[in-house]
Each structure stands twice: as structure tokens, then as C-alpha cells.
Amino acid sequence: MGATFVIGGDGVFAKVLPAYRGGGVFGDAWIHCLLCDSISHNRHDVENRYCGACHLFHDIVEEGRRLVVYGAAHECSEWAPARGLCALCGGEV
């Protein structure tokens, strides 16, 4: 593992990169997937924090990243977003 992570407490959360950004007001909200760089205004995507291009739920990706920081094993091919890099560790799939 190349990066040095602070393990424990809020330090872990600080080191976990967000998988998305979102904003906007009700009826005109948006979500920007940081995995594939696509922006969706689809209400269901916004509500579920889902990327239709990656076929991934961002909450699950961020939780997975947290677990990886703690040292959990994962199968990169199961976390491949549209861009072809593992959503959890950034490794090539």
C-alpha cells in the first residue's frame, strides 16, 4: 500500500475521497460522478446517489473505500466504473 492513511476515528473519513458531488434545489438537483465525470439531473440518480454510467451507488462506493482504508480485501473487477479504474482503490481493471 503506497499511501499512508490515518486509521481510526474521523481520520479515516478525512482520508476517504468522495465519489460524487451534488447540489441544486429540489426539482433542479444534480449529481456529478467523480468516477466517470458525468453529471446527471435524473431525479432518481440524485435521490439514490446513483451513476447510470458506472452502474454504481456512490454511498456503497464510499463505504467500500472506507473498508479498503481499514485494509479490507476487494475484487477490483467488481468495482469497475465506466472509466475502467477500480472505484475503490483506483487501480486498473
- Name the site residues for Zn ion (rule: CB under 5 A): 33, 35-36, 51, 53-54, 76, 86, 88-89, 91
Looking at the DSSP bridge assignments, the partners of residue 56 are 51
Spatial CA neighbour of 81 closest among 54, 45, 51, 58: 54
Closer CB to Zn ion, 29 or 89, in the complex: 89
Output 9 or 84, the one with its CB closest to Zn ion: 84
Cβ closest to Zn ion, residue 10 vs residue 72: 72
Question: To the nearest whole angstrom, how small is the minimum distance from the Cβ of residue 16 to Zn ion?
Answer: 14
